[in-house]
Structures are given as structure tokens and as C-alpha cells.
């Protein structure tokens, strides 16, 4: 089970590292596929805030580094969960063409949360 955790953690770390570095450092990845009108509107809203995309990508970068070096993984798993869930919901409601990767990210995130479930017990204890 530990090997599976390391594989999932590393793959998620690499995916979030790539996604964040490309946006934060404005790396040109060539011709991007055409976005739907709903997706263009959604992305325009995020970009119009002025800070949200940067905040999301910095959070992804920090969590990716935590996943890749294997430190603070239970914390990174919790911090990245809302982003992963939003990626899935975006692909369900706005851009269904990327849903497979979003589902795999959510499954990986849930697997890591399950693997580290003992770390969360004190947070969920009723007192």
C-alpha cells in the first residue's frame, strides 16, 4: 500500500507542478484547444478577479512540492482538495472534454486522504 501511495503522491505532485509552473511562468505550450463560450466566460471571471488564478496556482505549486518531497503530505492533501473538487466540477458543468483527468485527480486525492486517515482523527474527534 505504501508503494501505491508514493506513486499516487508523485503523479499528483507532477501534474500540479506542471499545471502551476506553466501558468505562473507564462510558458507557451503551443496552440491551445478552442474553449467553449461557457469556459471562456468562467476563465474570464477568474482572471478578472486579478488574484484568484495566481492564488490557485501558488497553492498548487506548494502542494505539488509537498507531494514530491514527501513532507506535509496530509496537510497538502487537505489543502489541495477544494481545488481538485473545483477542477472536477468545472469539467462536469463547463468543459466536459477534460473530465477523465479531473476524475483521476479526485480519486488520487481521496486515496491519499484515506491513506493518511489516522492523521485526521484528532481533528474529527468529538469532545
- Name residues whose C-beta falls within 8 Å of residue 63's C-beta, 6 or more positions apart in sequence: 13, 16, 76, 79, 80
Which sign does the torsion angle of CA 20, 63, 68, 4 carry?
A: negative
- Residue 29 has a pLDDT of 77
Domain range enclosing 52? 2-25+37-120
Domain presence at residue 8: yes
Domain presence at residue 46: yes
Which sign does the torsion angle of CA 59, 63, 64, 65 carry?
A: positive
Domain presence at residue 32: no
Cell 481538485: give the residue: 84
- Residue 32 has a pLDDT of 78
- Residue 27 has a pLDDT of 87
d(CA 46, CA 9): 27
Domain presence at residue 30: no
d(CA 38, CA 89): 13
For 94, the 3-state DSSP assignment is coil
Supply 12's cell numbers. 499528483
Domain presence at residue 74: yes
Domain presence at residue 55: yes
d(CA 50, CA 100): 29
Domain presence at residue 41: yes
In Å, how far are 5, 26, 83, 119, 120 from 22, measured between CA atoms? 26, 6, 17, 32, 32
Count how many domains the chain has: 1
Domain presence at residue 108: yes
Mean pLDDT for each 10-residue chunk of the chain (127 residues)?
96 97 88 84 90 96 98 97 96 91 97 96 87
pTM for this prediction = 0.90
Amino acid at each position: 500500500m505504501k508503494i501505491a501511495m508514493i506513486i499516487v503522491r508523485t503523479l499528483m505532485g507532477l501534474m500540479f507542478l506542471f499545471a502551476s509552473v506553466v501558468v505562473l511562468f507564462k510558458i507557451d505550450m503551443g496552440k491551445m484547444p478552442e474553449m467553449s463560450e461557457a469556459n471562456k466566460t468562467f476563465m474570464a471571471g477568474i482572471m478578472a478577479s486579478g488574484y484568484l488564478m495566481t492564488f490557485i496556482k501558488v497553492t498548487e505549486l506548494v502542494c505539488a512540492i509537498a507531494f514530491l518531497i514527501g513532507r506535509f503530505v496530509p496537510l497538502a492533501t487537505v489543502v489541495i482538495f477544494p481545488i481538485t473538487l473545483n477542477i472536477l466540477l468545472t469539467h462536469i458543468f463547463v468543459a466536459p472534454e477534460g473530465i477523465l483527468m479531473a476524475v483521476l485527480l479526485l480519486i488520487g486525492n481521496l486515496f491519499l486522504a484515506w491513506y493518511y486517515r489516522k492523521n485526521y482523527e484528532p481533528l474529527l474527534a468529538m469532545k
